[in-house]
Amino acid sequence: MPRITRRHMIQASAAIGTATALPAMAAEGVAKNGRIKHSICSWCFSARGEKWSFEKVCEVAKSLGVPSVELAMPSDFPTLKKHGLVSAITSNGMGFPRGFNNLAHRDELVTKTKSVIDACAEAKFPSVIGFVGMKWNKPEDPKSGEISRDDAFKNCFEGIQLVAGHAEKAGITLCIEHLNSRDGSDPMTGHPGYQGDDLDWVMSIIRKVGSPRVKLLFDIYHVQIMHGDLIRRIEECKEMIGHIHTAGNPGRGELDENQEIHYPAVMKKLVQVKYEGYVGHEFIPTRNPLAGLKQAIAACDV
């Protein structure tokens, strides 16, 4: 018989471990516990890599037991309905640069947001996204001069008020997103110049509006970059959180061992504070996107 060395034993153990893990890995990634309502952010999976179509994202969501593909447009609603899915939060059609802080596009923003609210009410989809906007007078031009913090607050308060009553009548929630302004390494990982980069400041606007249909989009990735202290922040904001986004930090990649956020603990906190909304996975795939989605669901399905 050949001599069995320590090296042979290690190799054999590794092989047995891998074989044993395969069935478990296959089962992971299918939402099953029911305490977290998962959602997939469509844009992340169409921007890079395999560039899935909206139809493909819907097919994947259905296969994983995920009930929502979000940040859709009303034109995408028939595809969602075909697959028996919802849009947990719907795009306002304007994007984050042109938000409520800037009077130059207020009329267009209010009109479009109301229109999307109406479409969501008809489709019975729960919420619409909203943004503070970039701090410059011309959102894409840093040389155009800045909107003061006081003016931004006033403009946001007044602009959101113009939408809040409409949202209340329709039974749809407008969720204002806090974004990070620190990461300038990539247009998709951070937004230098975004005026709503301070969570407490954004919350103060929402509190002043005082509508049950105006809430906070608590993006775990962005909050981690700007503030950290995630579990305590969730506790502080719990009454105002209308939607959740996830991604790994740094880099906005997968929810894996290469990033710093311990998602199971964060999700357990959401369960503890009785958060009943959706958790939208908004990471940018750096490898196989389906494997990344399964990993995100497994990490968050507490």
Domains of the chain in sequence order: 33-300 (3.20.20.150)
The tens place of each residue's pLDDT in the chain, 302 residues long, gives 445 444 443 444 443 333 333 233 334 558 888 999 999 999 999 988 899 999 999 999 999 999 999 999 999 999 999 999 999 999 999 999 999 999 999 999 999 999 999 999 999 999 999 999 999 999 999 999 999 999 999 999 999 999 999 999 999 999 999 999 999 999 999 999 999 999 999 999 999 999 999 999 999 999 999 999 999 999 999 999 999 999 999 999 999 999 999 999 999 999 999 999 999 999 999 999 999 999 999 999 99
Helical packing angle, 263-272 and 230-237, nearest 10°:
20
∠ CA 126-100-109, nearest 5°, is 70
Alpha carbon dihedral 36, 227, 190, 45, in 10-degree steps, equals -10
CB atoms within 10 A of CB 221: 26
51: number of Cβ within 10 Å: 10
**Whole-structure pTM value:** 0.90
Contacts of 18 by beta carbon, 8 Å cutoff, 6+ apart: none
